[in-house]
Amino acid sequence: MVATNSTMLEIGTKAPAFTLPNPRNNSPFRFSHETLHKGCLIAFICNHCPYVIHILDSLTDLCNQWQEKELQIIFISSNDVDNYPADSPDLMKELAEEKGFDFPYLYDEDQRVAHAYRAACTPDFFLFDVNYLLYYRGQFDESRPGNSIEPNGDDLANAVNRLISGKSAPSTQKPSLGCNLKWKKGNEPYYFVPKE
């Protein structure tokens, strides 16, 4: 495990469109700028990362609530499953059903979507406004595995609440921290810089 910060993609970046398979129903999911929502949260996660496991129950509860408020929620796993079989599509499906995801959990096999979003770690969050422009990218909250802080999603929840209320984006946005995204050999992006 290599602790890695999010790249902090530039605010105002347009969300790249994509189509990825949804292991839960074995059908493609198309993300475009044509669907009407109050915004969209895209989270790069995976099954085995301790940083994800630490926040997953809290994150799932919040995301299910936000979806009811017309925020589109999409989870994506981009890890190399050949070397990390715990993140395989079959086990992604199991996790989504076990945790009660009311939103898609998609498989980015060739890692092109992770590259497009400059995802670097799990978890890595990208919150877009109604025009699909990047509004927030940063941490879920201050909790980390082993730091004795209970996860509650304060930072991300504050951003979502501001977005839904029509307010400006939070002026302070701290990078997310998690396990490095597990790139396939030779597929590591130029922006990948692990935290020392």
At residue 143, the pLDDT reads 96
At residue 196, the pLDDT reads 45
Please report the domains of the chain, with CATH numbers, ordered by start residue: 3-180 (3.40.30.10)
At residue 3, the pLDDT reads 86
pLDDT tops 60 at residue 195: no
At residue 1, the pLDDT reads 62
Q: What pLDDT digit, counting tens, does each position of 26-45 carry?
A: 999 999 988 778 999 999 99
pLDDT tops 50 at residue 53: yes
Tokens standing for residue 174? 């701290």
Average pLDDT of the chain is 94
The mean pLDDT of 3-10, rounded to a whole number, is 93
At residue 189, the pLDDT reads 85
The mean pLDDT of 171-186, rounded to a whole number, is 95
Contact 101, 75 (CB under 8 A): yes
The mean pLDDT of 41-56, rounded to a whole number, is 98
The region that residue 186 occupies, defined by phi over 0 for left and psi between -120 and 50 for alpha, beta otherwise, is: left
pLDDT tops 70 at residue 120: yes
pLDDT tops 80 at residue 140: yes
Q: Where are the alpha helices (DSSP H) in 39-123?
A: 50-68, 89-99, 112-117
Cα 83 from Cα 43, distance rounded (Å):
22
pLDDT tops 80 at residue 134: yes
Percent of the chain beyond pLDDT 70? 97
pLDDT tops 70 at residue 193: no
Give the dihedral of Cα atoms 69, 70, 71, 75; nearest 10 deg. Answer: 110
The mean pLDDT of 88-93, rounded to a whole number, is 98
Tokens standing for residue 119? 């995802």
Sign of CA dihedral 159, 172, 49, 44: positive
At residue 190, the pLDDT reads 76
The mean pLDDT of 17-24, rounded to a whole number, is 97
At residue 36, the pLDDT reads 75
